[in-house]
Amino acid sequence: MITQKLDAINDYANAVNVASEILKSGGIVAVPTETVYGLAASAYSDDAIKSVFTAKGRPQDNPLIVHIASIDMLNDIACDIPDVAYECAKAFWPGPFTMVLPKGDKIADSVSAGLNTVAVRFPSDKTICDIILKSGLPLAAPSANTSGRPSPTTASHVIEDLDGKIDAVVCGNDSSVGVESTVVSLVGEKPRLLRPGAVTPEQLRKILPDLIIDDAVLKQLKEGEKVASPGMKYKHYAPKTNAILVEGCSNSFVRYVNQKTDCAAICFEEEYYSISVKKISYGSKRNESTLAKNVFAVLRDIDTLGVKEVYIHAPSKDGVGLAVYNRLIRACGFNVVTL
């Protein structure tokens, strides 16, 4: 298959039109969103959804998020929608926020991988919204990476992983948030945070005061443990290089990595010039949003460093830092050193 590269920066209208036509005819297209690039397919087409699973090499039991471009579209996707879902929609949409709700009948069964629930998001990115409106389709879209690899925040990350495996890539701006959406389940007794993102627990608790943070957000699940979000159980984002997450202050981190050999450090910009091994900064330790924006690109760069081990300085778990920490601990296979 030849993957069309559609230039959404210089020829926006054409990119949106061609992408919509491909999606209407059952094809699969990578599109930018504010969180990460997504690999979109019609949420009504079982065949198109199956092509998404194949292109990504995604485990069959890991359901997809359906993207909509107005709150009205929610009724086509979910049923028995509780009032609190509309309150969340009003507070956090359009934006990096996904709700799990009871699944409506119109959506292809493969979207939910056999569950009776469906995850829905109304993104703020203009390009994906224009494609949804132009095609008239809700779009099921997982992140547009090969399963297990870091999520793509640029069109070139998508091409690196999926060139030749999908119909087209809409090449737009880099993702501004950089980590995938916050996922909250509203189907249990209490609302449950399944995946942290740029909408933080502090913000969520203003609408959902009894929010529970699922164990899988920060802990490794035991073999056979029941999981609320299937995506949580898979090894994710890992570089090929052995990666270790390091918790501690800047002085201790610098001292720790400087006495190691054949290794590299993923550090904060404040530490950069004190580190004597190979290093990449992923932003200031005081700015969790920048760390989020850079984290996946840095995880992709690790394997180009040619070292045996990489030590990643853990961010604070405040605000969007929790989302960055959640991705890094998975990238490190829950291998953590506390100094």
Closer residue to ligand TXA, CB minimum distance, 107 or 312: 107
* Contact window for ligand TXA (CB under 6 A) among 32-40, 166-174, 249-257, 329-337: 32-40
Compute the CA torsion angle 244, 248, 250, 253 (nearest 10 deg). -40
Closer residue to ligand TXA, CB minimum distance, 23 or 65: 65
Which of 95, 121, 198, 265 forms a contact with ligand TXA (CB under 6 A)? Answer: 121
Q: Which residue spans within 224-297 are E strands per DSSP? A: 242-247, 263-267, 278-281
Q: Under the criterion CB under 6 A, does residue 63 sit at the interface with ligand TXA?
A: yes
In the block, residue with structure tokens 């009948």: 105
Which of 65, 170, 264, 320 forms a contact with ligand TXA (CB under 6 A)? Answer: 65
Phi, psi at 33, each rounded to 5°: -140, 170
Compute the CA torsion angle 276, 321, 304, 142 (nearest 10 deg). 180
- Residues in the interface with Mg ion (CB under 5 A) total 1
Closer residue to ligand TXA, CB minimum distance, 142 or 201: 142
Among candidate residues 99, 127, 129, the one with its CA nearest the CA of residue 207? 99
What residues have CB less than 8 Å from 252, skipping those under 6 apart? 339
Q: Residue 295 touches which of Mg ion, ligand TXA, none (CB < 5 to 8 A by kind)? A: none
Closer residue to ligand TXA, CB minimum distance, 27 or 38: 38
**Can you read off the two tokens belonging to residue 161?**
């992983």
Q: What's the rounded Cα separation, in Å, for the pair 213 and 220?
A: 14
Minimum separation from the CB atom of position 68 to ligand TXA (A): 11
* Contact window for ligand TXA (CB under 6 A) among 5-13, 229-237, 247-255, 293-301: 229-237
Contact mark string toward ligand TXA, 68..97, x via CB under 6 A: ----------------------------x-
Q: Residue 36 touches which of Mg ion, ligand TXA, none (CB < 5 to 8 A by kind)? A: ligand TXA
For 2, counting Cβ atoms within 10 Å of its Cβ (0-12 exposed, 13-18 middle, 19+ buried), the class is: exposed
Contact mark string toward Mg ion, 138..157, x via CB under 5 A: -----x--------------
Minimum separation from the CB atom of position 280 to ligand TXA (A): 24
Q: Under the criterion CB under 6 A, does residue 183 sit at the interface with ligand TXA?
A: yes
Among candidate residues 70, 188, 59, the one with its CA nearest the CA of residue 137? 70
* Contact window for ligand TXA (CB under 6 A) among 42-50, 61-69, 260-268, 321-329: 61-69
Query: Would you say 332 and 243 are in contact if contact means Cβ atoms under 8 Å apart?
Result: yes
Compute the CA torsion angle 316, 194, 239, 308 (nearest 10 deg). 50
Which of 117, 124, 127, 135 forms a contact with ligand TXA (CB under 6 A)? Answer: 117
Closer residue to ligand TXA, CB minimum distance, 229 or 281: 229
For 62, counting Cβ atoms within 10 Å of its Cβ (0-12 exposed, 13-18 middle, 19+ buried), the class is: middle
Which of 148, 230, 248, 333 forms a contact with ligand TXA (CB under 6 A)? Answer: 230
Compute and round to an integer the Cα radius of gyration of the chain: 20
Query: Would you say 41 and 139 are in contact if contact means Cβ atoms under 8 Å apart?
Result: yes
- The residue ranges that bind ligand TXA (CB under 6 A) are 33, 35-36, 38, 62-65, 96, 98, 100, 112, 115, 117-119, 121, 141-143, 180-181, 183, 194-195, 229-231
Residues contributing to the site for Mg ion (CB under 5 A): 143
